[in-house]
Amino acid sequence: MKVVTSVTTPLITGFVPTMGALHEGHLSLVREARKQCDHVVVSILVNPLQFAPNEDFKAYPRTLEADLALCEAAGADVVFCPDAAAIYPENFQTRVIGGELTQRYCGQTRPIFFNGVLTVVNILFGIVRPQKAFFGEKDFQQLFLIKQMVKDFWMPIEIIGMPIIRESSGLAMSSRNSYLSELQKQEATCLFQAILAVQEAVKTGERDIQALLDLARSKISLEIDYIELVSVKSLERLTGTLLEPARLLMAGYIGDKPRVRLIDNGLVTA
Ligand code: PAF
């Protein structure tokens, strides 16, 4: 607990929006918010607006009791866990529609996803009114689009991106990893292997983007949804020669019942 005796600086509220089924990735955000802010609010809401009808809204893991204990241990002051009906009452009408980037990369197979995310994050910002909000870099495109929304709408909120937290195997932590068997978790580490291989190739001088993407593909045994090298600054797809800091973004499918979609990414600097 922080004891504040001075009123010369305004108290800062830090916010960590989540969909629950919390893991170390989420908790690293809560701990960072605790370090940087006076009040820490975590929200838990499986947001129906960001799931297409064929996706896993119903099956998405819900572990509220465990989540509350984890939030408390990580230093949250308030956990806001509304019903979807409280956020989207019957007369709810307004949605955030992001730009064309919402339809690329993950948005190609999940066209409604980012608009659902931007809408709920906008609503939650209005309720919590944080000065700082914390998001993981695991969904790099989401983080980018939220920063863009905050800029476009002149929201007085600092968006803080935090590094991906991985299992010791290299698998990026995700609530959806609970769908995987131990064997599948092992197989899914190929996404991280692809990132390491590309980072290593760049370190040893490879700059040809097609060669780097081919290398990444050759490491991945999952059914690949997409792999791209994108500009860190603009999220534009890069082609030709690597001349600027890039993010290798990827998504793949593993398993059959359920067919699980996993994402991962890593920084690639020339
Ligand atoms: O990253 C997530 O968990 C969700 O997309 C978010 C940002 C909490 C919005 O529902």
CATH number at residue 112: 3.40.50.620
Residues 105 and 60 occupy one common structural domain: yes
Residues known to be catalytic? 26
The answer to whether 122 and 52 are in contact (CB under 8 A) is no
Residue 207 located in a structural domain: yes
Give 223's strand partners.
253
The pair of structure tokens assigned to 215 is 């290398």
Ligand 1 atom having least distance to the Cα of 121: 9
Residue 4 located in a structural domain: no
Residue 187 located in a structural domain: yes
Residues 52 and 158 occupy one common structural domain: yes
Residue 49 located in a structural domain: yes
Cα 71 from Cα 74, distance rounded (Å): 5
Strand 260-268 versus strand 246-254 pairing type:
antiparallel
pLDDT per residue as tens digits for the range 88-99: 999 999 999 999
Residues 101 and 215 occupy one common structural domain: no
145 C-alpha vs ligand 1 centroid, how far in Å? Answer: 12
Report whether residue 145 contacts ligand 1, using a CB cutoff of 6 Å.
no
From 139, 162, 185, the end of a domain falls on: 162
Residues 226 and 120 occupy one common structural domain: no
pLDDT per residue as tens digits for the range 63-91: 999 999 999 999 999 999 999 999 999 99
Q: Mean pLDDT across the stretch 112-118?
A: 98
206 C-alpha vs ligand 1 centroid, how far in Å? Answer: 35
Indicate whether 150 pLDDT > 80: yes
Q: What percent of the chain has pLDDT over 90?
A: 95
Residues 131 and 221 occupy one common structural domain: no
Report whether residue 121 contacts ligand 1, using a CB cutoff of 6 Å.
yes
pLDDT per residue as tens digits for the range 190-241: 999 999 999 999 999 999 999 999 999 999 999 999 999 999 999 999 999 9
Residue 257 located in a structural domain: yes
Residue 138 located in a structural domain: yes
Lowest-pLDDT range of 10-14, 32-36, 169-173, 189-193 = 10-14
155 C-alpha vs ligand 1 centroid, how far in Å? Answer: 18
Residues 158 and 179 occupy one common structural domain: no
From 129, 162, 195, the end of a domain falls on: 162
Per DSSP, which regions of the chain are E strands?
A: 13-18, 39-44, 78-80, 132-136, 158-162, 223-231, 246-254, 260-268
Residues 122 and 248 occupy one common structural domain: no
Indicate whether 8 pLDDT > 80: no
CB contact set of 156 (below 8 Å; sequence gap of 6+) = 131
Residue 9, pLDDT score: 65
194 C-alpha vs ligand 1 centroid, how far in Å? Answer: 25
Domain that residue 217 falls in = 175-268
From 162, 194, 217, the end of a domain falls on: 162
Instruction: Count how many domains the chain has.
Output: 2
If pLDDT is split at 50, 70 and 90, which confidence band does 270 have? confident
The answer to whether 212 and 201 are in contact (CB under 8 A) is yes
Nearest Cα residue to atom 2 of ligand 1: 18
**In 3-state terms, what secondary structure has residue 81?**
coil
Residues 68 and 198 occupy one common structural domain: no
The pair of structure tokens assigned to 149 is 């929304």
Residues 187 and 219 occupy one common structural domain: yes
Report whether residue 14 contacts ligand 1, using a CB cutoff of 6 Å.
no
Residues 231 and 255 occupy one common structural domain: yes
CB contact set of 154 (below 8 Å; sequence gap of 6+) = none
Closest-CA residue to 224 (of 251, 200, 263, 185): 251
Residue 60 located in a structural domain: yes
Residues 132 and 39 occupy one common structural domain: yes
Domain containing 194 — which CATH number?
Answer: 3.30.1300.10
Tell me the pTM. Answer: 0.96
Residue 106 located in a structural domain: yes
Residues 22 and 87 occupy one common structural domain: yes
